[in-house]
Amino acid sequence: MRLLLLSNSTNAGEEFLKYPLKQINEFLGQKSLNIIFIPFAAVTISFDDYEHIVKERFNDIGHNLTSIHKLSSMTDAVKNADAIVIGGGNTFQLLKLLQTNNLLIPIKEKILNGAPYIGWSAGANVACPTICTTNDMPIVEPQSLKSINLIPFQINPHYIDFVPSGHGGETRNQRITEYLIANQDKTVVGLWEGTMLRQTNNKLELIGEKKGRIFTYNNAYYDVGEQDDINFLISKS
């Protein structure tokens, strides 16, 4: 498999998809690809507007991108695509529409057959076995929380351990701990903004100036960086 899973699309104060564009370009290669974009996570902007801003950025690096919502057969669109891109937004809406349109299995089959996959935020969440470690509110109800299941671990995008002064609610670490108490055999990777995971066949790498944070049940969390071997994450059963 070839996966590029980003914590976020855009760093604060930067243009859309500016920080990861070099890595996206290298990941996709020099050949011009026909990319299917899935905008289903968009809530506050239309699918048309989402396609427009993503299409511009991918055109900049020589690739043609079309949003799946404009095509008569979504299943055929996935089967015929050179690559799949899923954008961020609300993970619950994204998963619900993937399920409603019967796209989970076709997307997984396409990726298992070698097509590159890029997802940011919610698009990274749906690469996990479930969307249980998203940060989003369940504004709609999907059929289940089970997702595409391209990787055997969970991602928490936009990870942060900052606690505002006077804040009395649960921290991100406490929320992840709750998940692990209920799902003791799972691993969660917290991805700070500006970081991403790249999988090429059986090699998994963390990319970015910041580190990733590894959480497992009943163990202290620890951080990993670009130079660390994290292949154990994809070898876990």
Choice among 7, 69, 136, 147 that is catalytic: 136
Query: How far is the C-alpha of 78 from the C-alpha of 106, rounded, in Å?
Result: 7
> Can 144 be counted among the known catalytic residues?
no
How many angstroms separate the Cα of 142 from the Cα of each of 93, 107, 124, 159, 231? 7, 17, 17, 24, 31
Query: How far is the C-alpha of 84 from the C-alpha of 90, rounded, in Å?
Result: 18
Choice among 158, 185, 223, 229 that is catalytic: 158
Q: Is residue 86 a contact partner of residue 38, using CB atoms and an 8 Å limit?
A: yes
How many angstroms separate the Cα of 39 from the Cα of each of 10, 59, 61? 16, 17, 20
> Can 136 be counted among the known catalytic residues?
yes
CB atoms within 10 A of CB 169: 8
> Can 9 be counted among the known catalytic residues?
no
Choice among 7, 9, 67, 121 that is catalytic: 121
Longest CA–CA span in the chain (Å) reads: 52
**Coil, strand or helix at 21:** helix
Catalytic center residues: 121, 136, 158
